[in-house]
């Protein structure tokens, strides 16, 4: 049995853990490795190494820091196939999708290669007589990231790409369900020339998360995961005086206007609802056709498209999607399907009980389609995070704007239409953080920023782009005057200075 260890101060943590988590191969349903679950003492060792390394890293000029990111990008590209297979074997997403996971993270690293420009401060000459004002973006010190299972490459890179380029040391606590890729990324950063102690990986569960949230030397925590945990992390981290951004779950809606190109919508929905077995926070699991005619026509086209989906092992190049991450998650998704039936939704395609020949123990779920789902249903209100698409019929545009706006989650939303006015109106009014117009998964590019609203994100600064730079730095503002000894310059001032 392979053991997966921490990466502390550039080498294996040598933790000798007393508790372990099981890492499955979701294709076979078998345990393939175990990960040592760390303790506060392991975190202390990582923090001590980070404290030793961070001042010199912060003092390294930003171009040199960027060069490490350039080299890291090249190394990840050179290792793309191996990383994608490793990712796929623990997560279950198909290889092409695993490469997408890595590539979307690398794009944040590309953004971080431009950090010298992004860190330039502001300057005002002559803000008053002989007075100049300038501001600098300084690193926070030690930051930590706590990441979910569903993007084991992209989300760690969202965080450490920017945090490290800004001059921070970074401690990553990846999901214990698929921890190997984060470890490999940390090794590649070392190979790229990052000094030991600047990026470390500690494994664990709630015990390690709590240790991170309470540690006085950790200045900021970035979290991505489910909403209840995100809220908990946010509250506990803020109570300990940290800067915290905590992204949560989602239930993204796709509005289909009567004038939409339905063939295109069906093609988009197939990928967005079922890709990665629906285990994406930007999946599109709710479709809202406007008007009964649109709903009937859409349903008619969706059924054969869903029947044509190929569920296969994650290394099957023809498969549209692979297994879900573990048996507990499979059970959870199937329970939600039963809840939908019990609540009176119409189960048009039932994906339960799906068995892949030769892989009967794998965590596979067939695609499911519900029609006549209503906003009162629990299966609509909560995130299912599986290959399940729900049709909620809306009588008109106003209802279609209201549904995602009133939902507890507000991560992403899409509208499909040929009507520019309707799209513009929708984008302006909908209470959701990321909007797609004829784009089913509107994940912003790396130099913009990622973040939802409502229970999809706690805290007020988004991931990556300039928002990421703001999160991982603090501003110091200097007001300077160089008196030349002239009349009146040396007097006492008892009134607050103004520029009046
Ligand atoms: P999760 O909340 O179970 O786990 C996320 C992290 O929190 C993991 O590192 C885990 O070890 C830790 N954790 C788990 N239970 C904890 C507890 N009780 N106390 C403290 N820490 C705990 O999430 P997941 O199942 O790994 O990921 C799926 C979820 O993440 C979905 O809800 C999905 O929508 C969400 N997600 C959100 C975004 C976003 O950007 N908004 C992106 C990806 C995933």
To the query of whether residue 166 is one of the catalytic residues in this protein, the response is no
The 8-class DSSP code of residue 362 comes to: S
- Bridge pairing between strands 253-256 and 286-289: parallel
> In whole angstroms, how far apart are CA 309 and each of 161, 282, 287?
35, 20, 18
Q: In the prediction, which pLDDT does 12 show?
A: 60
Site to probe by mutation for ligand 1, drawn from 147, 148, 382, 433 as the one with most ligand atoms within 8 Å of Cβ, is: 148
Tell me the pTM. 0.97
> Which atom of ligand 1 has the smallest separation from the CA of 463?
40
Q: Which residues line ligand 1 (CB under 6 A)?
A: 146-151, 173, 175-176, 205-206, 209, 224-226, 229, 247-250, 281, 383, 385, 411, 452, 456
**Per-residue three-class SS string for 173-200:** ECCCCCCHHHHHHHHHHHHCCCCCCCEE
Helices (H) and strands (E) in the chain, counts: 16, 23
Strands 473-481 and 131-139: antiparallel
pLDDT in the model for residue 81:
98
Q: What is the pLDDT of residue 262?
A: 98
Which residue has the CA at smallest separation from atom 35 of ligand 1? 225
Ligand 1 mean position to 64 CA, how many Å? 34
Q: What is the DSSP string of 390-414?
A: EE--BSSHHHHHHHHHHSSEESEEE
Protein residue whose Cα sits closest to atom 39 of ligand 1? 247
Low-confidence ranges of the chain (pLDDT < 50): none
How far apart (Å, rounded) are the C-alpha atoms in residues 67 and 319? 38
> 404 near 392, Cβ under 8 Å?
no
Nearest protein CA to atom 18 of ligand 1, as residue: 206
* 248 CA distance to ligand 1 middle (Å): 7
Catalytic residue among 157, 281, 284, 369: 281
């Amino acid at each position: 049995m392979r053991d997966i260890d921490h990466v502390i101060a550039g080498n294996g943590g040598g933790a000798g853990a007393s508790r372990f988590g099981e890492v499955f191969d979701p294709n076979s349903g078998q345990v393939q490795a175990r990960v040592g679950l760390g303790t506060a003492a392991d975190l202390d060792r990582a923090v001590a190494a980070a404290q030793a390394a961070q001042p010199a890293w912060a003092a390294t000029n930003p171009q040199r820091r960027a060069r490490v990111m350039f080299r890291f990008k090249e190394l990840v590209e050179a290792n793309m196939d191996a990383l994608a297979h490793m990712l796929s074997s623990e997560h279950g997403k198909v290889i092409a999708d695993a490469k997408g996971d890595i590539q979307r993270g690398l794009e944040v690293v590309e953004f971080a290669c431009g950090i010298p420009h992004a860190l330039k401060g502001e300057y005002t000459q002559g803000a008053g007589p002989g007075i100049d004002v300038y501001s600098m973006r300084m690193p926070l010190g030690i930051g930590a990231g706590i990441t979910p299972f569903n993007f084991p490459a992209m989300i760690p890179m969202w965080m450490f790409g920017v945090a490290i380029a800004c001059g921070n040391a970074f401690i990553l606590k990846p999901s214990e369900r698929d921890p190997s890729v984060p470890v490999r990324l940390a090794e590649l950063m070392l190979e790229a020339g990052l000094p030991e102690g600047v990026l470390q990986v500690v494994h664990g569960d709630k015990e390690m998360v709590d240790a991170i949230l309470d540690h006085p030397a950790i200045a900021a925590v970035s979290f991505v995961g489910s909403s209840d945990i995100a809220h908990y992390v946010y509250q506990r981290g803020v109570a300990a005086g940290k800067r915290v951004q905590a992204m949560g779950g989602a239930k993204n809606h796709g509005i289909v206007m009567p004038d939409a190109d339905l063939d295109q919508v069906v093609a988009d929905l197939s990928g967005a609802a079922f890709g990665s077995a629906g285990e994406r926070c930007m999946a599109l699991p709710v479709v809202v056709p406007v008007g009964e005619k649109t709903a009937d026509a859409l349903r008619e086209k969706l059924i054969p498209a869903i029947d044509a989906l190929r569920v296969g092992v994650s290394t099957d190049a023809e498969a549209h999607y692979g297994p879900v991450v573990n048996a507990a998650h499979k059970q959870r998704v199937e329970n939600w399907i039963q809840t939908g039936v019990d609540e009176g939704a119409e189960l048009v395609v039932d994906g339960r009980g799906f068995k892949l020949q030769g892989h009967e123990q794998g965590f596979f779920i067939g695609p499911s389609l519900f029609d006549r789902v209503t906003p009162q249903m629990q299966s609509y209100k909560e995130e299912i995070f599986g290959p399940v698409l729900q049709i909620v019929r809306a009588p008109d545009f106003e209802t279609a704007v209201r549904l995602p706006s009133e939902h507890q989650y507000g991560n992403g939303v899409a509208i499909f239409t040929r009507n520019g006015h309707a799209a513009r109106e929708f984008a302006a009014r909908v209470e959701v953080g990321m909007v797609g117009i004829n784009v089913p998964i509107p994940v912003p590019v790396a130099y913009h920023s990622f973040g939802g609203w409502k229970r999809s994100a706690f805290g007020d600064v988004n991931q990556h782009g300039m928002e990421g730079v703001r999160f991982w730095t603090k501003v110091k503002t200097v007001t300077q005057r160089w008196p030349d000894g002239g009349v009146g310059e040396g007097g006492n001032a008892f009134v607050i200075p103004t520029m009046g």
